[in-house]
Structures are given as structure tokens and as C-alpha cells.
Amino acid sequence: MSGTLYIVATPIGNLEDITQRALRVLREADLVACEDTRRTRVLLNHFGIKTKTISYHEHNERERAAEICELLAAGKNVALVSDAGTPLINDPGFRVVNAAIEQELPVVPIPGPAAFVSALVVSGLPSDEFYFAGFLPARANARRAKLEELSAIPATLIFYEAPHRIAITLTAALDTLGNRDAAVARELTKIHEEIARGSLSTLAQRFSGDARARGEMVLIISGAGSIGGPFKSAGKSTGETQPLEQTLFGRVSELESEGLDAKAALKKAARELGMKRAEAYRLIVAQKNRRNK
């Protein structure tokens, strides 16, 4: 009989978050394949687990995937872990899972922590529909292009980000998506856990020049057309939330009164409200047609 490839989630900070099932699988496996053997050994030693480890990371993934599949075919059970959280979520593992499936070898998930899920459920932003986009590109033009690509998605957007880029990313999101509600979660499950909530402009100012920011961060941004959210972002009225069309028309009028021409005012208002310019233009034309009747 062939062995089984177990995809084992491990804690993202607090070791108490590991499951009893994960501990059993790690103890009983013939081998633990890990992103960094030194980091995983700390976890294993903490729980008195002596299972042999091998490295499995982005630089040796192709070769290791073939090797692990050979072990599985020979009847060995292999547990795959990442440095923290659930493997394959912005971590290596796809190649070996895909290879195992192609060879009809069993692949079993051992559920547990995932940073983006933990951040989402405490963000205060809608969680019924979300889009996880991993890390944004490091280069400015590519980052802006990716944000523009995602700008019309109505679902809550979720990204991972490095601490030294969080301020730049918040500013880029503000410029591209408009002043939407957002949250930044860092050091989740650890002593210095923090969830900062506010509009993108507020958060960009909060993290600007913050050299103390540490640890991988999760950035959560409300979806397109999410106006009047819990954090008083642009477009929220003092009373009931205005219809999107009315808010757009009012914002365009404000910008025109400030000196912008009609085209520039529409473009800026659409960006602030997280809309595509074509959709904003359609709403403005419809509003004007109704007023002229």
C-alpha cells in the first residue's frame, strides 16, 4: 500500500494553537518535509517529537517533490509543514501535492491556523465574500497594476505584506482604490498582537515612517462600492448611508467646485469610491438623464 501525504497546519505564533491531530500525525509520520528544518525542529522539540525532517522549499521543490512521491509510493507517510500556518498558502507545497494527485497517491489535509483567516474574522470588514491575493508585487508599477485589476471586485480584499513595505502599499491602495475601510493585522496570536482599523488614509498615516513595525502583516480592504463602513471612510454620510449613485454625484460636484474639470473629477471620485471609471460614468449619465426629465 502507498503512504499518505499529510498537509499539516502549524501555529502562526502561539504554540497552543496546534491541534491534537496535527501532533499525532507529526509523531507517527515517517518524515516531516519542512520549509526550514531549523524552525520546524524548534516546534517538534517543544512537543517531544523525534520524527526525521528534510527541507522542502522554493529552491528545491521540484527535486524534493519527486523524492517525496517515491517515498509515498514505497509506503512511507510524509507530513508537509510550512514555517507557520497552513502549507501552500503563499508557501511551497503545490508541486508535491499536484505530483501526488497525478500519481493517485493519498493527500490528506490536517486543518489549523491560517493568518489571513484569523485576520479577516477580527477585522470588522465583511467576511461572507473575500478575495485572497497573497503578496502584492514589490515594484511600484506592477503593484499599481495589480490593485487596478482588483479594484472592481466587490468582495473584501486580503493581502500579505512585509513590514518594510506596508506604508508604501497602503498609500498605493489609497491612490488606486480610494479611501476604503481597511485593517492591518500583525503579530497575530503573539504577545504584541495588533489589529489597526481605519480608512486607508488613516492607516497610511499611521504606518508612515514606523520603523518599529515587525512581522508579516495581513492587509484587509473593503470591496468595491463598500461605502459607509464601520471605520468612517470616504463616502460615509452622517446619517443613513447614501446610495452609491447619490454619493458619486455629490462627490463629483464637490471636486468640480474645487476646480477640477468634469473628466478629472469623475476619475478621482470613482477611485475614491472603489469604482471603475466606466461604471461611474454610466451612473452619472443616468443621474443626469433622470434630472433632465
Under a CB-based contact definition with an 8 Å cutoff, are residues 226 and 199 in contact? no
pLDDT digits (tens, 9 = 90+) for 180-221: 999 999 999 998 899 999 999 999 988 886 656 677 899 999
- Which three three-digit cell numbers place residue 197? 482599523
pLDDT of residue 126: 96
Residues 209, 167: Cα–Cα separation, whole Å = 8
* 51 Cα distance to chain centroid: 32
* pTM tops 0.85, yes or no: no
Q: Where are the beta strands (DSSP E) in 139-189?
A: 156-161, 181-186
Under a CB-based contact definition with an 8 Å cutoff, are residues 204 and 174 in contact? yes
Residues 183, 232: Cα–Cα separation, whole Å = 13
pLDDT of residue 239: 31
pLDDT of residue 107: 98
pLDDT of residue 43: 97
pLDDT of residue 244: 60
Q: Which parts of the chain have pLDDT scores under 70?
A: 209-213, 226-247, 272-275, 290-293
**Phi/psi of residue 143, each to 5°?**
-65, -45
pLDDT digits (tens, 9 = 90+) for 258-282: 888 888 888 887 776 666 778 778 8
pLDDT of residue 290: 66
pLDDT of residue 238: 28
- Which three three-digit cell numbers place residue 67? 523524492
pLDDT of residue 260: 87
Q: For residue 107, what is the enclosing H or E element?
A: strand 107-110
List, in sequence order, every residue forming a beta bridge with 44; answer none if it has no partner. none
According to DSSP, residue 243 is labeled: P
pLDDT of residue 240: 34
Residues 155, 166: Cα–Cα separation, whole Å = 21
pLDDT of residue 233: 45
Residue with cell 503512504: 3
pLDDT of residue 208: 81
Averaged confidence pLDDT in the chain: 88
Residue with cell 446619517: 239
pLDDT of residue 292: 67
pLDDT of residue 212: 62
